[in-house]
Amino acid sequence: LIGLLGSLVLVATVAYFEGRAIVRTIRRLVDAARAIARGDLRERVPVQGRDELALLGRTFNQMAGQLQTRLDELAAERERLRDAISRFGDVLGATHNVDQLRRAIVETAVEATGAAGGALVGEAGDLVQTGYPDKGKDRIEVPLQAGRITFGTLILFGDDFEDDDRMTATSLAAQAVIALDNARLHRIVERQARVDGLTGLANRRQCEDQLATELARVERFGGPLAVVFGDLDNFKEVNDRFGHPTGDVVLREFAHTLEEGIRDVDLAGRWGGEEFVLILPGTDVGGAMHVAERIRAARAERVVLSAEGEPIRVTASFGVAAFPEAATAQALLAAADAALYQAKRAGKNRVAAASEAVTHP
């Protein structure tokens, strides 16, 4: 009996201490779980032995480690996304160059979504791409559209895109559309600032800038440069008799004649009213006289019809000046203007060179 009692006491003692060990292990698991719930994934459960609780502890520690690794990866992805979007915003705010914007859109979308490659296909079929567009079984396609205006489609290639990737691509596309539309409006405003609205030729500001550029070039590298002023003869009579709409038709027709008579490197502009200017790089006085005479003859042969169908013939007079005889922009323009009025005084429908005799038709 004494032996039995001793055995019972021993079993009870072992059970007591085993129970305490189990309770401590469970308490540690609970404490660690609470720490993870608070966001502290560094907490680990001390593990000893090979029983089920030890296995549970090891599994718990492994889970905590995997969670920490995944959170670190997510933090790195968020940082990468922040950097990509920040750089994207810098590019969008720094340029109105459409080619640069399109390149930035594709590269940022690829980086932000982790795509293998991407492309932006324009409405005209033009293509900007980066990375490896031929890799990956999955794709994201986002149209770049502002109202009725479409700038193309952003396409991303990869494997197993997640919903977050698709949301990121859509968000970037929305920003891209705003930037592309701003660039479009900027081009319109810029064109309006440098192009004559009636004739489509360069306006006075553009002509002055171009003349300054060409003068700087010839001053540095040498070579000729000519300026031609052209003015429609008796244009006020056309407006007075047939009205301003018909006068506008005559101005547009003359602008077309000017463009037909010059090279791609030359510039035709409307100086103001019925007065026009030609800037002819690499052309001396003789060459400019030939160009002006060819345009004068073409203008004299053309007929414009009034609203009532009445034929209208409007001739033009021209004045020519060239560098280096006139060495500054002001001197060139003044010399060409003086030559123009010399042609006017000589009877109109003529070409005159600065300080030279009038050339008759």
Enter the tokens of residue 112.
């932000």
User: Does residue 273 lie in a domain region?
Assistant: yes
Domains of the chain: total: 3
Residue that finishes a domain, picked among 62, 94, 126: 94
Can you tell me the distance from the alpha carbon of 24 to that of 42, in angstroms, rounded to the nearest whole number? 20
User: Does residue 339 lie in a domain region?
Assistant: yes
Whether residue 105 sits in one domain with residue 88: no
Residue that finishes a domain, picked among 143, 166, 193: 193
CA distances from 46 to 23, 36, 52, 57 (A): 13, 15, 14, 7
Whether residue 346 sits in one domain with residue 260: yes
CATH number of the domain bearing residue 278: 3.30.70.270
Whether residue 335 sits in one domain with residue 306: yes
Angle of helix 163-194 relative to helix 52-94, nearest 10 degrees, comes to: 10
Cβ atoms of 258 and 316 closer than 8 Å: no
CATH number of the domain bearing residue 175: 3.30.450.40
pLDDT at residue number 112: 84
Whether residue 304 sits in one domain with residue 255: yes
Can you tell me the distance from the alpha carbon of 3 to that of 25, in angstroms, rounded to the nearest whole number? 33
Whether residue 50 sits in one domain with residue 88: yes
Whether residue 291 sits in one domain with residue 189: no
**Segment holding 54, helix H or strand E:** helix 52-94
Whether residue 353 sits in one domain with residue 244: yes
Whether residue 174 sits in one domain with residue 230: no
3-state helix, strand, coil in the chain (%, to 5): 55, 20, 25
Whether residue 339 sits in one domain with residue 226: yes
User: Does residue 4 lie in a domain region?
Assistant: no
How far is the first Cα of the chain from the last one, in angstroms, to the nearest whole number? Answer: 148
Whether residue 340 sits in one domain with residue 261: yes
User: Does residue 234 lie in a domain region?
Assistant: yes
Enter the tokens of residue 251.
């101005």
CA-CA-CA-CA torsion sign (129, 130, 132, 137): negative
Residue that finishes a domain, picked among 193, 214, 235: 193
Can you tell me the distance from the alpha carbon of 81 to that of 111, in angstroms, rounded to the nearest whole number? 8
pLDDT at residue number 318: 98
pLDDT values of the chain reduced to their tens digit, one per residue, 361 residues: 566 666 655 655 555 545 555 656 667 666 666 666 666 666 666 666 666 666 766 677 777 777 777 776 666 666 776 676 767 777 777 778 888 889 988 988 888 888 999 999 988 778 888 888 777 789 999 999 988 899 999 999 998 898 988 998 998 899 889 889 989 988 888 888 889 999 999 999 999 999 999 999 999 999 999 999 999 999 999 999 999 999 999 999 999 999 999 999 999 999 999 999 999 999 999 999 999 999 999 999 999 988 888 999 999 999 999 998 888 999 999 999 999 999 999 999 999 999 754 444 4
Whether residue 147 sits in one domain with residue 58: no
User: Does residue 199 lie in a domain region?
Assistant: no
User: Does residue 327 lie in a domain region?
Assistant: yes
pLDDT at residue number 256: 96
pTM of the full predicted structure? 0.61
Torsion of CA 348, 353, 358, 361, to 10 degrees: -60
Whether omega before 311 lies within 30 degrees of 0, making that bond cis, reads no
Domain containing 189 equals: 96-193
3-class state of residue 351 by DSSP: strand
Can you tell me the distance from the alpha carbon of 139 to that of 147, in angstroms, rounded to the nearest whole number? 25
